[in-house]
Amino acid sequence: MTAELKMLIGGELVEGDATLDVVNPATAKTFVTVARASEAQAAKAIAAAKKAQPAWAALSREQRQGYLNKLADAIDANADKLARTLTQEQGKPLPEAQAEIAYTTIFLRYFGGMELPVEVAQDDADLRVEVHYKPLGVVVGIAPWNFPVLIAMNKVGPALTLGNTIVIKPAPTTPAATLMVGELAASILPPGVLNIVVDQNDLGGFLTSHPDVNKVSFTGSTVTGKKVAASAASTLKRLTLELGGNDAGVVLDDVDVKKTAQGVMASAFMNAGQVCIALKRLYVPSKIYDEMCDELATLAEETSYGDGLQQGVKVGPLQNAQQFEKAKKFLEDAKRDGKIIAGGAAGDGDGYFIKPTIVRDIKEGSPLVDEEQFAPILPVIQYDDIDDVIARANDTNMGLGGSVWSSSIDRAYEYAKRVDSGTVWINHHTHFAPHIPFGGAKESGIGVEFSAHGLSEYAQKAVISINKH
């Protein structure tokens, strides 16, 4: 069978040794068939990246920036087509898909303009000691299915800027738009600098243990992240792991309830709740608990769900059948452990729809509170003591993000400092940008992405020490 979308290996757009059907989660039907790699093809991609790396690293930083800008231009010029494909494969509403593509080029251009100049650690009568940031070599970038294009390109940008080459592997349920970016890249980048291979969850181990791979940048679940760490250990590859989260939002008793409820909804229901840094459990003081629950329930009932290509839809389907089954299980737990005050059921149609759901009178101990739901189902938990609630927010092996909401920034700030996570937002949640370091505490990850901190994870720090005598 011929694939409608091909992989990019060594500068060529190639058929796979197999094919993979990509399902539109709004219809539960295949909408495109793409090329799928064998292990031999994955090995070819790594070999091509290895061969291309020295010449790529030998270019000037400005030349590499020029290539990344051209790729960003091509993505912008094809943004409509890419966004529609993204909605069809991922499920997110078209405006969210358009935003993902727009962010992708903003980030690519930003990374292309970054550099890590030589630092002078010491320069005196005796010694001159310099710190150089050298490329690591071949990077493998593994992406999840929630922001397929943005996350993949956020590995391509920093890797290529510093003179590394890369092999990208999208998630098996969302390879299509990424392969379309590969089609664009084929006529822009030198052969082998960017390679894209598709698997069916069967090439991760091969890619992350291959001796010619120097770094793995992985974004996905904590369970898989641990497998990646184990696999990369055999050759001590450099690792960046961006993993799961169970972000708590802590509301203080002085908030404007309506305004806060809107801020909470914007985070918790973005991409149908399938965002690593979505607000996933909300703690509200008893004094305003009923009012906040009622407000959230009203907003959830007003939130339209459906096929992301339909105008006005705010919550699309869950991305895949497995996630849909998990979400239905969370609804069962919620019925048993709490009280559903909005939504609470699968949606109409053949797609993987869950109605925007608010659950109140629920506590820790219920899977919906303790685990990452990755669904449009928000538990709202009552509290009386603020110190106790900060301890409860922190009582998890996750630590990606968190937020504190208050009319007093000073008051919120004091509590924000006590939340154990990579990011704490005050009066918002889920904001990120290429100049702000992003990463998880505890089992939410190792290392950071973005900013000079993130960029330096794609470099070997190499010291040159000169004896002046």
319 contacts: CB under 8 Å, gap ≥ 6: 25, 90, 91, 145, 146, 173, 174, 272, 274, 352
Between the alpha carbon of residue 425 and those of residues 255, 263, 431, the distances in Å are 15, 11, 8
Residue 182 touching ligand NAD (CB under 6 A): no
CB-closest chain residue to ligand NAD: 204
Q: What is the dihedral of CA 414, 417, 421, 427, to 10 degrees?
A: 40
Q: Kindly write out the interface string for residues 359-398 of this chain, putting x where it contacts ligand NAD by CB under 6 A and - elsewhere.
A: -------------x-x------------------------
Which stretch in 15-23, 169-177, 289-297, 353-361 sits in contact with ligand NAD by CB under 6 A?
A: 169-177
Residue from 157, 308, 440, 454 touching ligand NAD (CB under 6 A): that is 440
- Tell me how far apart the alpha carbons of residues 439 and 456 are, in angstroms, rounded to a whole number: 14
In three-state secondary structure terms, 165 is: strand
Q: How many residues does the chain have?
A: 469
| Binding-site member from 2, 60, 201, 311 for ligand NAD (CB under 6 A) | 201
Task: With beta carbons less than 8 A apart as the criterion, state whether 415 and 394 touch.
Answer: no
Residue number, 11 or 399, with CB nearest to ligand NAD: 399
Distances in whole angstroms, Cα of residue 408 to Cα of each of 251, 340, 413: 11, 31, 9
| Among the listed residues 128, 134, 227, 363, the single contact to ligand NAD using CB under 6 A | 227
Q: Does 69 bind ligand NAD (CB under 6 A)?
A: no
295 catalytic, yes or no? no
Residue whose CB is less far from ligand NAD, 110 or 383: 110
Encoded tokens for 271: 């991409």
Q: Would you put residue 52 in left (φ > 0), alpha (ψ -120 to 50) or beta?
A: alpha
| 439 backbone dihedrals φ, ψ, rounded to 5° | -170, 175
| 293 is a catalytic site residue | no
Give the one residue of 242, 307, 333, 370 binding ligand NAD; rule: CB under 6 A. Answer: 242
What's at 170, amino acid-wise?
P
Q: Which residues of 74-85 are buried (b: 16+ CB within 10 A; e: fewer)?
A: bbbebbeebbbb
CB of 439 to ligand NAD, least distance (A): 8
CA angle 438, 444, 446 (to 5 degrees): 65
The site string for ligand NAD over 316-355 (x = CB under 6 A, - otherwise) reads ----------------------------------------
Indicate the residue among 366 and 421 with the shorter CB distance to ligand NAD: 421
Nearest to 277 by CA among 381, 399, 169, 170: 399
Interacting stretch for ligand NAD, rule CB under 6 A, among 28-36, 103-111, 167-175, 342-350? 167-175
* Catalytic choice (89, 100, 242, 295): 242
What is the CA angle 297-301-306, rounded to 5?
A: 140
Residue whose tokens read 């992989």: 7
The CB-of-136 to ligand NAD minimum distance in angstroms stands at 18
Closest approach of Cβ 61 to ligand NAD, in Å? 26
Residue 332: helix, strand or coil by DSSP?
A: helix
Measured between alpha carbons, how far is 178 from 194 in angstroms, rounded to an integer? 12
- Per-residue interface string for the shown chain with ligand NAD, residues 133-152, x marking contact by CB under 6 A: ---------xxxxx------
Say whether residue 406 binds ligand NAD (CB under 6 A): no
Interface size with ligand NAD, residues (CB under 6 A): 28
Residue 232 Cβ vs ligand NAD, minimum distance, rounded to whole Å: 9
276 near ligand NAD (CB under 6 A): yes
Binding mask 204-223 for ligand NAD (x = CB under 6 A): xx--x----------xxx--
Residue 224 contacts ligand NAD per CB under 6 A: yes
Q: Write down the least CB distance from residue 114 to ligand NAD, Å.
A: 19
Catalytic residues: 242, 276
Contact residues for ligand NAD, defined by CB under 6 A:
142-146, 169, 171-172, 201, 204-205, 208, 219-221, 224, 227-228, 242-245, 276, 372, 374, 400, 440, 445
